[in-house]
Structure 1
Amino acid sequence: MKTVIIIFLSTIMLFTLSFADEYVVISNSKMKDLSTTQIKAIFLKKITVIENINAVPVNLGARDPIREKFENKIVEMNFERLKSYWAAQHYLGKRPPVGMQSEESVKAFVKNVEGAIGYINANNLDSGVKVLYRWSE
């Protein structure tokens, strides 16, 4: 009986791990493939043009859990550090990325605005966007 319970619990753990949350950085189909370094630079507005197309980074709301994961993984800054970064950039005339309140609005914006780039949960993908990068947690 012990063996059956151990096998059962092991199976449940493996099943749960195989469904770890997966996230994607997306753009419209016209955007070229980008490295994570380029994606980071776009979201920090260090790169503003890619092949004659204005790059338009799109964030989820300030305390959205997916945004937090994106900023930690791709931008490599936490909320407080980014807040300080954008306060300093304000004096240089730079504004932070456009903010959206939902993954659906990010996806709609990316589909309809040339050069837009955002991030969503991979479960919300559809054929209207191009995946630039995937990661899971």
Structure 2
Amino acid sequence: MKYFLLTLLLATSSAMADVVVIAHPSGPDSMAKNDIRDLYIGRSKQLPGGQTADPIDLSQGQALRDEFHTKVTGRSQAQLNAFWSKQVFTGKGQPPRMLDSTTAVKSAVANTPGAIGYIDASEVDGSVKVIFTP
């Protein structure tokens, strides 16, 4: 039983992607976890330096989205849904725009000044820069 649990734990941890937060090349060189969280839950609308932020989220149901929000915003999908439903209903905010793939996120960030997003570390190239690794 002990070996089964160890094997299961190792399989689960290796299945987790190495999520990184990326920015447009003209964006900040780094950001703190709390500042990124604030962008993704609507508490802030600006990047360091005052540039308007354009946070980009993956669509629901993607493992990398769940990993990002668990590690950075501290919220599950159910908590995010409840939070954004309330924000939208009360007129206090709109959720970040969502794209269907990390390829689309990387492309949007690379082509949009002020944009930030998250992708698997293995997908990083010279078109974007890593500003945070949870």
For residues 52-100 of structure 1, give each alpha carbon's deviation from its aligned partner in whole angstroms, at most 9, with x where no partner exists. Answer: 3111110111111000000100010001111111011112241100000
Distance in 1 (CA, whole Å) between partners of 2:61 and 2:33 is 22
- Tell me how many residue pairs correspond in the alignment: 120
Quote how far apart the aligned CAs of 1:132 are: 1.0
TM-score w.r.t. length of structure 1? 0.81
Letter in 1 for 2:64: I
Distance in 1 (CA, whole Å) between partners of 2:120 and 2:56 is 14
Residue matched to 1:134: 133
SS of residue paired to 2:116: strand
In structure 2, the gaps of 5 or more residues are: 1-9
1:93-104 aligned within 5 A? 93-104=92-103
In structure 1, the gaps of 5 or more residues are: 1-13
TM-score w.r.t. length of structure 2? 0.83
Residue matched to 1:3: none
- CA 1:108–1:46 in 2, change beyond 3 Å: closer, same or farther? same
Letter in 2 for 1:99: M
SS of residue paired to 2:133: strand
Quote how far apart the aligned CAs of 1:38 are: 0.2
Letter in 1 for 2:35: Q
Letter in 1 for 2:95: P
Quote how far apart the aligned CAs of 1:18 are: 8.4
Letter in 1 for 2:79: R
- CA 1:94–1:75 in 2, change beyond 3 Å: closer, same or farther? same
Q: Which structure carries more strand by proportion?
A: 1
Moved over 3 A (4+): 17-21
